[in-house]
C-alpha cells in the first residue's frame, strides 16, 4: 500500500470553485483500487469545518503566520481528511480565494503558504500515526509544499500537479522571511519570478515530478503561447513533466442514477430531460439544437467568442442555456444577450443540480476555451449523450473525436472540434452542429459513441500509481 497526502485548496463536494475540486475529490476513491491510500489536506474554511465537527485534534501550532492553528483528522463525505483549522486565515465570509466583493484576499500568500507548510510537516513527521510515502501538491495554493520539505532536509517524493498554469501565486520577496522560506531559493533557477516569489514556480522547480491534467496540455506548456512565462521551467524539467488525463466520478455523473434528472440510459431518453429543461429555462421550441454552457465566465473560456457567434446559431433555430459566473463585464454581456434574444437563457451563479439538468437536457455542450488544461464539462457531456463542441486545445483535443468525414465514415466521432480559437471558427463549428442535428440518425450515433467513451479514472489512476511507485523505487 502506497500512502499519498494530497494537498489542495478545494475538494468536492465540500468546497468547489471549479474542476480542481472535482479532481481532488475523485482521486482517492479512484486510486484505492490501485493499492494507494490517499488522504487530503484542506484549509479549514467554514464549509469544511462544518463537515469536520467530529474530527480528532491531532496537532496544535501556537502561532502559524499570525495566529494559533490546529490540525484535525477524520472522515467525511467518503474521504479521509486532514483539515487545517486556522481561524485567522480561513474563518471568513466569501469564497476560498475572493472576498464577498470579488477581490483577492490580501493575505492569500500567507493563507496558502500555511497550507503548504502543514502539508510539508505531515510529510516529514506524519500525523495521527499516519505518514505519507508521497506528497502531491495541487496548483499554486500548494506549490510551496515541495520547497518547505526540501528546505527542511526531507527527501520525500513529491508531485506538483498543474491544473492551470495561468495562476502563479505571486507574492513580494519581503514575505519570504515571514513565511519561513529559504533565502537561497530566491533566484531565477528557484522560486523567483521577475522580482517576485512564485508559489507555482517553486513547486515546478522543487517537486520530484510535475504532472499536468492532459497530455496535450503538457506539450502546450513547453511553448511561450501557453506556458504563461514558465515554459522555460517546464522545458528544463524535461521527462519529469507528464500529462495524466483527468477523469470524472462516474458514480456522481451517471445518467442512469443521477438524482438531479429523470434517469435514462440511452440517448433517446434525452427527450424527457430536454423538454424539462426547456420548461425550466423558459426557452422556446426551435428547429435547431438546444446548446448548453456550464462555465466560469473568464477570458480563458472563450465566452466572448460565443457571444459573437451566437446570432448565427439562433438564426438556424438553435437555442442556448448558460450557467456561470465570473468577470463582471462578461456577466453583464450575457445578461444583455438574454434580454435581447428569446432563444437565450442565462443563470448567473453556480448550482450543481442545475448543471446536471443542463447537461442532461442539452443536445450539445459548448466549450470554446482559448486554452483548457483538461476540462471536465466535455466529459460530462460525453457521459450524458450531449455532443461536445470544443476548441482543439489541451484536454479538449485529447477527449473528443471530431466528426470529420473520416470519423463519421468509421463510426467513431464523439463531437466537434474547431481551430483556430476564433469567433469565425466557432461559428463554423456551430453550423456543423446544426447540420448534424438535421440528421437524427447520424447525431444519435455520435451521442451513443460519446456515452461509451472512457471518461472515468481507470487508466489515469493506474498511471498515477505507477508514477508513485517509480519515485519510491528511487528512494
The parent domain of residue 411 ranges over 267-452
Q: Would you say residue 253 lies in a domain?
A: no
Coil, strand or helix at 5: strand
pLDDT, tens only, 114-156? 999 999 999 999 999 999 999 999 999 999 999 999 999 999 9
Residue with C-alpha cell 463549428? 429
Q: Would you say residue 260 lies in a domain?
A: no
| Vertex 367: Cα angle to 223 and 290 (nearest 5) | 165
* Co-location of 278 and 374 in the same domain: yes
Number of C-beta neighbours around residue 19 at 10 A: 24
* Co-location of 410 and 386 in the same domain: yes
Within 8 A by CB and 6+ apart from 128, the residues are: 56, 58, 73
What is the DSSP annotation of 65-79?
A: SSS-EEEEEEEETTE
What are the Cα distances from residue 329, in Å, to 303, 309, 311, 344, 389? 11, 18, 19, 18, 24
Checking if the pLDDT of 399 tops 70, the result is yes
* Co-location of 359 and 446 in the same domain: yes
Q: What is the pTM of this model?
A: 0.91
Q: Would you say residue 35 lies in a domain?
A: yes
Residue with C-alpha cell 440510459? 265
> What phi and psi, each to the nearest 5 degrees, are found at residue 325?
-155, 160
**What does the pLDDT read at residue 270?**
83
8 A C-beta contact, residue 388 and residue 381: yes
Residues annotated within the binding site are 16
Residues annotated within the binding site for ADP-alpha-D-glucose are 16
Could you give the percent of the chain with pLDDT greater than 90?
92
Task: State the Cα–Cα distance between residues 48 and 30, nearest whole angstrom.
Answer: 22
Task: State the Cα–Cα distance between residues 49 and 51, nearest whole angstrom.
Answer: 5
Checking if the pLDDT of 262 tops 70, the result is no
* Co-location of 70 and 198 in the same domain: yes
Peptide bond before residue 13 is cis, with ω within 30 degrees of 0: yes
Q: Model confidence at 259, in pLDDT bands (50, 70, 90)?
A: confident
**What does the pLDDT read at residue 350?**
86
**What does the pLDDT read at residue 265?**
47
Residue with C-alpha cell 507528464? 242
Q: Which ranges of 158-295 does DSSP label H, i.e. alpha helix?
A: 175-178, 199-206, 215-220, 231-237, 270-281
Coil, strand or helix at 131: coil
pLDDT, tens only, 151-162? 999 999 999 999
C-alpha torsion angle, residues 382, 383, 386, 387 (rounded to 10): 10
* Co-location of 338 and 440 in the same domain: yes
* Co-location of 309 and 391 in the same domain: yes
Q: Give the cell for residue 122.
A: 505531515
pLDDT, tens only, 297-315? 999 999 999 999 999 999 9
pLDDT, tens only, 408-442? 999 999 999 999 999 999 999 999 999 999 999 99
**Exposed/middle/buried for 332, CB within 10 Å: 0-12, 13-18, 19+?**
exposed
Q: Would you say residue 252 lies in a domain?
A: no
* Co-location of 122 and 228 in the same domain: yes
Exposure class string for 358-389: b at 16+ Cβ within 10 A, else e: bbbbbbbbbbbbbbbbbbbbbbbbbbbbbbbb
In total, how many domains does the chain have? 2
* Largest separation between any pair of C-alpha atoms in the chain: 67
Sign of the dihedral defined by the CA atoms of residues 425, 428, 434, 439, in that order: negative
8 A C-beta contact, residue 137 and residue 145: yes
Residue with C-alpha cell 481507470? 458
Exposure class string for 193-232: b at 16+ Cβ within 10 A, else e: beebbbbbbbbbbbbbbbbbbbbbbbebbbeeebbbebbe
Could you give the percent of the chain with pLDDT greater than 70?
98
**What does the pLDDT read at residue 475?**
87
Task: State the Cα–Cα distance between residues 245 and 215, nearest whole angstrom.
Answer: 7
* Co-location of 277 and 408 in the same domain: yes
**What does the pLDDT read at residue 396?**
98
Q: Would you say residue 256 lies in a domain?
A: no
* Co-location of 313 and 344 in the same domain: yes
Q: Would you say residue 259 lies in a domain?
A: no
* Co-location of 223 and 295 in the same domain: no
* Co-location of 366 and 276 in the same domain: yes
Task: State the Cα–Cα distance between residues 374 and 396, nearest whole angstrom.
Answer: 6
* Co-location of 229 and 208 in the same domain: yes
pLDDT, tens only, 274-299? 999 999 999 999 999 999 999 999 99
**Exposed/middle/buried for 188, CB within 10 Å: 0-12, 13-18, 19+?**
exposed
Sign of the dihedral defined by the CA atoms of residues 375, 376, 380, 383, in that order: positive
Q: Would you say residue 261 lies in a domain?
A: no
Task: State the Cα–Cα distance between residues 328 and 295, nearest whole angstrom.
Answer: 14
CA 67 to chain CA centroid, Å, is 31
What's 146's domain CATH number? 3.40.50.2000
Find the helix packing angle between 458-473 and 19-32, rounded to 10°: 70
Residue with C-alpha cell 440518425? 441
Exposure class string for 32-56: b at 16+ Cβ within 10 A, else e: eebebbbbbbbbbbeebbebbeebe
Q: Would you say residue 185 lies in a domain?
A: yes
Amino acid at each position: 500500500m502506497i500512502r499519498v497526502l494530497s494537498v489542495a485548496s478545494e475538494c468536492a463536494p465540500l468546497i468547489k470553485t471549479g474542476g480542481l475540486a472535482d479532481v481532488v475529490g475523485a482521486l482517492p476513491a479512484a486510486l484505492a483500487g490501485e493499492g494507494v491510500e490517499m488522504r487530503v489536506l484542506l484549509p479549514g474554511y467554514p464549509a469544511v469545518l462544518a463537515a469536520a465537527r467530529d474530527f480528532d485534534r491531532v496537532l496544535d501550532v501556537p502561532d502559524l503566520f499570525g495566529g494559533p492553528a490546529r490540525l484535525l483528522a477524520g472522515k467525511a463525505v467518503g474521504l479521509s481528511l486532514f483539515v487545517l483549522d486556522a481561524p485567522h486565515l480561513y474563518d471568513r465570509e466569501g469564497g476560498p480565494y475572493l472576498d464577498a466583493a470579488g477581490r483577492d484576499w490580501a493575505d492569500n500568500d500567507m493563507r496558502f503558504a500555511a497550507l503548504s507548510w502543514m502539508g510539508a510537516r505531515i510529510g516529514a513527521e506524519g500525523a495521527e500515526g499516519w505518514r505519507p510515502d508521497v506528497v502531491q501538491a495541487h496548483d499554486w495554493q500548494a506549490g510551496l509544499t515541495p520547497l518547505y520539505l526540501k528546505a527542511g532536509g526531507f527527501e520525500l517524493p513529491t508531485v506538483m500537479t498543474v491544473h492551470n498554469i495561468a495562476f502563479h501565486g505571486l507574492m513580494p520577496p519581503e514575505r519570504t522571511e515571514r513565511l519561513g522560506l529559504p533565502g537561497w531559493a530566491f533566484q531565477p533557477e528557484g522560486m523567483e519570478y521577475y522580482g517576485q516569489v512564485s508559489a507555482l514556480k517553486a513547486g515546478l522547480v522543487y517537486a520530484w515530478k510535475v504532472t499536468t491534467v492532459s497530455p496535450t496540455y503538457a506539450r502546450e506548456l513547453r511553448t511561450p503561447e501557453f506556458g504563461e512565462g514558465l515554459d522555460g521551467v517546464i522545458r528544463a524539467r524535461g521527462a519529469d513533466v507528464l500529462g495524466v488525463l483527468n477523469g470524472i466520478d462516474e458514480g456522481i455523473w451517471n445518467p442512469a442514477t443521477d438524482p438531479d434528472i429523470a434517469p435514462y440510459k440511452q440517448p433517446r431518453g434525452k427527450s424527457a430531460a430536454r423538454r424539462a429543461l426547456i420548461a425550466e429555462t423558459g426557452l422556446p421550441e426551435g428547429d435547431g439544437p438546444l446548446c448548453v454552457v456550464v462555465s466560469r465566465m473568464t477570458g480563458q473560456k472563450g465566452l466572448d467568442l460565443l457571444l459573437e457567434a451566437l446570432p448565427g446559431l439562433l438564426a438556424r433555430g438553435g437555442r442556448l442555456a448558460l450557467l456561470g459566473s465570473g468577470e463582471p463585464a462578461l456577466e453583464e454581456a450575457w445578461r444583455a444577450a438574454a434580454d435581447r434574444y428569446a432563444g437565450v437563457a442565462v443563470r448567473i451563479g453556480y448550482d450543481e443540480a442545475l448543471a446536471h439538468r443542463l447537461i442532461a437536457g442539452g443536445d450539445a455542450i459548448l466549450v470554446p476555451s482559448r486554452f483548457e488544461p483538461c476540462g471536465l464539462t466535455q466529459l460530462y457531456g460525453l457521459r450524458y449523450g450531449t455532443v461536445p463542441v470544443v476548441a482543439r486545445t489541451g484536454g479538449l483535443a485529447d477527449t473528443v473525436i471530431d466528426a470529420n468525414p473520416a470519423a463519421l465514415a468509421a463510426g467513431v466521432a464523439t463531437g466537434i472540434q474547431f481551430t483556430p480559437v476564433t469567433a469565425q471558427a466557432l461559428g463554423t463549428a456551430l453550423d456543423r452542429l446544426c447540420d448534424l442535428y438535421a440528421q437524427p440518425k447520424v447525431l444519435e450515433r455520435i451521442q451513443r459513441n460519446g456515452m461509451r467513451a472512457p471518461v472515468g479514472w481507470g487508466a489515469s489512476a493506474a498511471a498515477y500509481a505507477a508514477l508513485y511507485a517509480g519515485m519510491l523505487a528511487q528512494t
